[in-house]
A and B are shown apart, each in its own frame.
Chain A
Amino acid sequence: MPSEYIWTVSASGIPCRIPVPSDPRCTSDVDWQEIPSSDGSPICTIVASSAAAFAIDRSGKLLILVMPTHVAIRKNIEIYNNQRWIGIWRGTFFIDRPRYSDETGRIAKDLNLNEVDPGWSWEDKWSPYLDPRKFDKEGWQYSLSFLAPKWDKQCRMYHLVRRRVLKRHMRYTSHDKWIEMSNEESRMFTELAIGGMDVMGEGETLLFALGSDGDIYRRVGIDSSCPGGRGWEIVPRIVYKDSESDDVTLISASASLATLVAITWDGKMYHRKGITRKNPIGLSWQSLPTPKNKAVICAAIGTKTMWCITADGCVWFTRLEIDEKLKEHTMKNVTSEGYQLVTQGGVSRISVSKYDQVFCISTREQIEIRTGIDAHEPSGKRFEKIVDRGEPRDQRWISIHCGSTSFSQIPEYITSSSSLQSKMELLQFRKADWRLKILEQLQETTSRSWSAMNNASEVVLNSPEENETLNGNKSPVKHIRCQIKRGDAFRSVNVVLTGKTVEISGEQMDPRSIEYSKIKYVQPSFQRLPQKYLLYVFTGSQSEFECFAFTDEKARCTFQANVENIIRESIWSSTRSSFGESMWSVSTEGDVRWHCLAELSQESKFEKRVNLGESRGLIVGDGVFDSIDCGANGSVWAVTESGSLYALSSRYQPLNAHDTVHDYRMTDERTLKMYEYQKHAVFRGFISFQGSQKGISAWMCDGRPCPPSFSSLPSPNWSWVDPTWHLEEEGEWEYSKEIDGVYETCENRNGKVRRRLWTRKARFDSSKSPWCHVEAPPITLIRVAKTSSDEGTINVVALTRDGHILKRNGVTREHFTGTSWTEILVDSSISCIHLQTDKLWCATSDGMISSRTINSSDTASFLSSSDWRHLDMDLAAIAQYFSPKSSTDMEITGVSDILYMRVGFILFRIDTNEGTISDAYPMDNLQQVMVNAQGSICVRGTNITVVREWRVVPYTDRKATIIAMRSVDRASNMGRGLKNIAFY
């Protein structure tokens, strides 16, 4: 289900949505979908956010359509069941709280109340809340009185009252259907405006409606758990120059910022000032100049531009200024002469998206798009008709809204039907037997031709260029000029790749020679001060490295390709399959690297495991990620910093990656943070400084010095989103006594140093990536099963940012992205998960561990929460190490019944069969713990350690154990510069 649509209404009043996925191959659903209202009443106008669409029908009723979500829209209803002991447990006295009440006991509740709001339905029956840590087996907890602060899970002699929590879930079930919005005052509406997605919180939007009484209303209480909102709030009428201006005919809002524009019957424009998240009703109306003071009939606002249509049919556009601090349009630069005429006539209705892309309805009732809109040319080039797909019955349109789309460039397939078609065709043909046969035969004929040539007895190859192609692969010697890092300085050197060794020579340094077989892996890096593109080449088993520096990215890439070819050859000659044991890692700069851990030994011709430190690795190109996991059949999934999920194409083979072309699109946005430091000097106050102290310079980015307000980016795939750096939190300084100490904001400005934070957004965009985007809510953690089921499906489970668990269905080698999501319902927010082949473990932030089996054939959209089994063990020994911070810094993993739990830098072993928890096992800088396909626990701290065997000694009372590592495979130094790893 692609989450982005353009919504439109046909001339006969049928709403229709146009899917606009960023990469249609990952969703394969681009047909237009007509969604008529349930009673068939014709729709007049439509607006949409990413969560819901709102429409007004001819009679003025307001309808809502809630989009399907991966994570269920649910409400948890709790009722307290209270009882008192009078020889037996029974209902409460008249002076006590009611038998069924809320937690305070003041409000009585009725267990038999079954009413739900429209669109919602009950998910289950009332059932007691069972948490073995708080309640007994039946869910009761006991106390002296209802007002006592302490409740006990065991009944003792002195306990007089008991209570239990009955819970029941309500779920929104009317997805993808138009239903009438609750409307107490039976108001009728004529126009809608929606926006403010970037100003309001997650799931919240600003929805304004123009009532038939001429008033503008705002919908209150729209959030992710209540897409329809709760009630209406009136926006004051337009008062201008002390006289009430009446009869608003049209309203419009910016999708991104909180800007509302109203157009009156006489074509004047007004905008509402001061709308913020806290004050969504705004402060006052202000007049907005119209183009050449003509009457306006339609207006649409994006982020940086506003488009208007005047009564004479002319289309105008003007740029808008944004107050970055207040996050609102200033509207000060809009003058009646400042509008540019775009076209005369031809357009009847217009809608502008968040990234200022323009969609419109032409006067011939066709949907058109303005092409060529970008930052340099905000007015675009021309109007073009868009390609319709599927069979919309009506080909004429009256209304359009594109506010919920978020592409910054128009995807090619919107205006060109062939690009998608031929890509689809390719996809469909890719696996066909005849295609593989053709490829195989082509390969054979080529080699036959060459051998025929070579066999010709008197081969006299006359032309020199043919000679070159013959030996093209083997022409070995390459000369490269670059710099090499010695200490903190860079020296110019000549590098020669001779075919067997890398020879480095230069002035003022000893020549160095590295044998090809010694080169293990490379790591590209980017240094801002002085600006250099670096390539670390790791050699030998102890992770020795040479650091080469280049002044441009292209030269670095060429060199990297050369060195990686050398590594590839080495792996080629020694590996049987690339599905064997492997490690995938993500560097701090986001590059993914594959390490081969199974090579053929030269002597025995058997595959043997390579020690981690001596393994060879190759970079997986074109992607920036935060975390990664790998599983059965070579499936690899990774998550970006912003929480987007990607699956590595199954056509990607690390060993021949260099000659396959991938064309998936990978995009990510990252906010770069730059700290400005100042030191206090006598008489001069705080001033900037030269040089660095304790590794900190006047300007720092990602923990490294950088030039002030730099504008360089690590590779051509990166571009800036924000035009300039801006200060966070109104530029407030934080003070500290030590330059590397703790910084705090303080009133009286004491401290020796201070710093402030600048931010600027950058965007990564590659269209040659082997990573295919998988549509999902923001994800923090992905887990891929290490073994596949009998049918070949691989379980993939993701944990969303807000603590929900999703299971990806239908992931196989061929369909590596899977087909759909199933939400595994949970009763509380989850902070980490662990996936064994068909068993899923999860832990909440307060340390409750639960497990359930998962079945790859369950592909319903929800799996009930009642299948969870709580781990009935006292985890107090672990819980004492919890801190507010550790709730996010926690992991579980394990093999069969043995779980390993990491809390901060401490590791615990939990034996769920014996019911024992080990003593704390602290490790240096422990960051990550996971299990590989062979069932060994792998630990990433300062080093990366694979523990083949643990020594477990039980205490005499058998309630706890002591653990130690016994047989390990350790790689030193490799853990440096990595932020996430996964083992297969």
Chain B
Amino acid sequence: MQKYILRRVLQAIPLLWFISIVSFALIKLAPGDPVLSFVTPDMDAEAVERVRQSLGLDQPIYIQYWIWLKNVFMGNLGYSVSNHRPVLTLIVERLPATIGLMGSALLLSLIISIPLSMYAASRQNRPADRVLGLISYIGISIPSFWFGIMLIYLFAVKLNWLPSMGMRTIGVDSIWDIMKHGILPCTVLAFMNVSVYMRYIRSHTISQLEEDYVQIQYAYGATQGTVLRRHVLKNVLLPIITILGMSFPELIAGAFITESVFSWPGMGLLGINSVFSLDYPVIMGITMISSVMLVIGNLVADVLYGVVDPRIKTMG
């Protein structure tokens, strides 16, 4: 097992290295001059050139990449072009908001989708299953920003129950206030997650229900509820691990669109703002962190498969 993990980690290193090269090249080769955001009308050409030099942008691209890579290894992701603060600090500041939102959405989605999809599976092709199926179709087809706007219209504008944006009411500092701000974005994220999860868990449950061990339980006179809770649930862990692996990068990188609709001050909003201001060090930082999370998420999921189900040989 340790050998397997070690090998996977070693394989991940060149992958991450390639990712950094590809994203660096794409960001750099794209037209648009980040120096322009420093230029004020009273600066002459020489002053502009000095700014360019101070940012290291006068160097050829492979030297810029080399400098960037060296700095990354020393824990320095560079400085934001728009407010000159360290990228790492900007990211760390945003993490709690994102992890809080994405984490609660993930938890909520699991709590909802596991029983619902097992119920749907046990009622395969009957009306209840069909209705849940349609809802999950809508969930994967709905534009998340539009769903968010509709929720804002209903609960913030019409009913005035919940705040429509931000994470805190100015002057109020309580967990309850943050939670109230989180309800709508959390609902949007959870609805979309549940729709995706349900398809996985439902089809996995259906194949489990055809297994011998389930039939034997029935023969012993167990009720369907007991079988589902005591036996099938354990075996549904595998798709759940896949899901968790998939969701891991989002937990850190946030959801760009949902955070933007609700002005939730997390990583997603930071990402969008950095795109608008062409703040390439921040863009690079976020790209790298989310890619690392994606690779880690996949790795952890693969390792967990072996732990949960010894029949799967992860050593091979």
Instruction: Indicate whether A and B interact.
Output: no
